[in-house]
Structure 1
Amino acid sequence: MSSPDLNRLHTHDLELGTTEVVQKHATRNVVPPRRVSQRRLDFEHARPRWLRECIAEATGVFMYVLPGIGAIASFTFNATNPIGSTAFGSLFSIGFAFALGIAFAIITCAPTSGGHFSPAVTIALCVWQGFPLKKVPHYIFSQLLGGFIAALVLMGIYHQQIVEMKEALLAAGEPLVANGAPASILCSFPNPNQTMGYVFLTEFFCDCFVSLIIWACLDPANPFVSPAIAPLVIGLAYGAMAWGFGANTLSMNTARDLGPRVVAAIFFGSEAFTYKNYAPIGILASIPAMLVATAFYELVMKDSLNIIETGHAVHEDGDEALVRHITRTTTVDEKH
């Protein structure tokens, strides 16, 4: 029930019962935001743009990698416990952790840096969208740093379990670097019976699939993907590939693989880079896959005239050249 005191304090809308709400209009009083001071504006203006972008890229990769490898850790440590493995980890939960981590990273950090979070994306944007070449090394270094820090944080969080698992494996004479071993929490390793050609093809096609989805989401003429839903769509693309092909060894991102792989080498030995000669596939395959997939989209799917019509681009030679193109193509279409 409301009272004069509640009305006076402007909190009555929190105390109304269901019947009272439907019988009369309840006014919600919103506290106005704090005014922005000149000191705040001066501070924000003084921040180096390049540094903000680099920190945002590192933060985004951290936000996406940490939940994913955390889910892998939970799955790995509970794999021998039938009840625990069901409750705390599965390939499905790992895919969801990466998918939601990517979505959260884009939502949080993309307004500052553009939300690349992958060297392959940065390189593709440089090739096709005019992203400045001088920024590419800064972005890639920041992305690798974000993955490296995420792996270090996970090693700290799961230190006790990792030490116990490591001691048990060493006592049993089993390796620390293999699929299912503690090093595989941080980065991917192939199954013992897999050939590297097979692993490369799986990685390549899965990366192409995700790259097509990313490029479709970035296409301003695509009527089916709004900016608000794009983070979730991109995240689910990663999740779909993890659910479908994660058991066949996937990395799908140089930053997700190389940064944590360095941490794996620090804690579990250099075999993290030499095991079955897989490391180059996990580290590098996403880059050519991204370039092939985006080339396919640019050459086959993209409609630049639609992008111009929606106001997201202009003709490089001006409006007169655009009019000449429309007149010429319209005349040709009418003749046919």
Structure 2
Amino acid sequence: MSQAHSQMSTAHLRETSNDPSRQSTLHRYREMLREPFAEFLGVAILIIFGAGVNCQVLLSSVSGVSSSPKGDYLAVSFGWAVGLCLGVWVSSGISPAHINPAVTLAMATWRGFPWKKVPGFIFAQTLGGFIGAAIIYANYFHAIDIFEGGAGIRTMKTAGVFGAYAIDYLTDVSAFFSEVLGTAILVLVIVALTDKKSTAPPPALFPLVIFLVILGISSSLGMQTGFSLNPARDFGPRLLSAAVGYPRTVFSFRHQYWLHTGIVAPLLGAQLAVALYDVFLYKQGDSLLSQV
């Protein structure tokens, strides 16, 4: 009986694999999801390393978590730089490796990236931020309990390991400017790297250059706002923090800081960067300016 059942199962599998309609349907869905999934995976990797190093540096400052502090601001800078570098490396062979809604929208506006792909990319990127943060939360759950002073206590003392929050003395306008500036520098380098008429490095070195850019931005400009530079990097983990019991302040902080500085500022910075590059440097015909 078992042999007959095995033969029937094998025959069924052969019929399924030889069914052109089923193959084409599966292939179509797979191809449709490959690029968004690569973006999802890239952002998840970014957050696993970035939020992970945030947790390790902050939580290890308490003796109940670690016998000695494990890292400092330089470690945070390296963690985020490594995360983005590896995220780009993993996704770049499949998707454009935007890993950032600000980059996706800038490429759609100025470089002819298909607008029909934009919603799927942004959803995948944001989901990647949420899932990456969920993985880190699960990994550091007990350490957060110890740091907060009890099981299930969640306050703004540890909310910053997930979302980005401006330092106390910084005004909202200054925080907005800082995020516009940092994102503009990041995207300016990206468009220079992808300009075929510039002296860009080989494509295989692209992630390494991104590593250096993030390391530089975080080391030089990141102290005051936490260098979000990416709506998916901030909003996805911020959603996770709200979902696991952090106070409503994660969204009400500084009159919806998450919106004007976490989302709008990077979007604006990316658009300004490509516009500046195209006005003064870009010579190819796929720019928005060539259509005006």
Bin for the TM-score computed over the shorter chain: 0.7 to 0.9
Larger radius of gyration: 1
* Matched residue SS, 1:304: coil
Q: Residue 258 of structure 2 aligns with which residue? A: 279
Does 2:171 match 1:190? Answer: no
Cα offset, 1:119, TM superposition: 0.5
Correspondence list, 1:160-199, <5 A: 160-167=142-149, 176-177=155-156, 181-199=157-175
Residues 217, 234 of structure 1: 8 Å contact kept: no
Cα offset, 1:46, TM superposition: 5.2
1:108-128 deviation digits (Å, cap 9, x = unpaired)? 111111111110111111111
Correspondence list, 1:115-194, <5 A: 115-167=97-149, 176-177=155-156, 181-194=157-170
Hey, what's the Cα distance between the residues in 2 that align with 1:224 and 1:124?
A: 19
Does 2:61 match 1:84? Answer: no
Hey, what's the Cα distance between the residues in 1 that align with 2:159 and 2:111?
A: 37
Q: TM-score if structure 2 supplies the norm length?
A: 0.82
Residues 145, 152 of structure 2: 8 Å contact kept: no
Q: Residue 243 of structure 1 aligns with which residue? A: 219
Q: Residue 293 of structure 1 aligns with which residue? A: 273
Hey, what's the Cα distance between the residues in 1 that align with 2:41 and 2:107?
A: 20
Residues 126, 233 of structure 2: 8 Å contact kept: yes
Distance 1:170 1:57, change over 3 A: closer
Q: Residue 30 of structure 2 aligns with which residue? A: 48
Hey, what's the Cα distance between the residues in 1 that align with 2:36 and 2:200?
A: 31
Hey, what's the Cα distance between the residues in 2 that align with 1:185 and 1:212?
A: 27
* Matched residue SS, 1:121: helix
* Matched residue SS, 1:112: coil
Amino acid at match of 1:101: G
Distance 1:84 1:155, change over 3 A: same
* Count of residue pairs brought into register by the alignment: 261
Q: Residue 9 of structure 2 aligns with which residue? A: none
Distance 1:134 1:159, change over 3 A: same
Cα offset, 1:92, TM superposition: 1.1
* Matched residue SS, 2:97: coil
1:282-316 deviation digits (Å, cap 9, x = unpaired)? 222110100001100111111228x9xxxxxxx99
Q: Residue 7 of structure 2 aligns with which residue? A: none
Hey, what's the Cα distance between the residues in 2 that align with 1:164 and 1:136?
A: 41
Q: TM-score if structure 1 supplies the norm length?
A: 0.72
Does 2:206 match 1:222? Answer: no
Distance 1:111 1:164, change over 3 A: same
* Matched residue SS, 1:247: coil
Residues 64, 105 of structure 1: 8 Å contact kept: yes
Please point out which of 110, 123, 127 is paired with 2:92.
Answer: 110
Q: Residue 233 of structure 2 aligns with which residue? A: 256
CA RMSD across the alignment: 2.5
Correspondence list, 1:34-45, <5 A: 45=27
* Matched residue SS, 1:268: coil
Hey, what's the Cα distance between the residues in 2 that align with 1:200 and 1:258?
A: 16
Q: Gaps spanning 5+ residues in structure 1: where?
A: 1-37, 308-314, 317-336
Amino acid at match of 1:288: L
Q: Which has the higher contact order (CA 8 A, sep 6+)?
A: 2
Amino acid at match of 2:172: M
Cα offset, 1:141, TM superposition: 0.2
Hey, what's the Cα distance between the residues in 2 that align with 1:224 and 1:139?
A: 26
Residues 91, 242 of structure 1: 8 Å contact kept: no
Hey, what's the Cα distance between the residues in 1 that align with 2:190 and 2:68?
A: 35
Q: Residue 76 of structure 2 aligns with which residue? A: 94
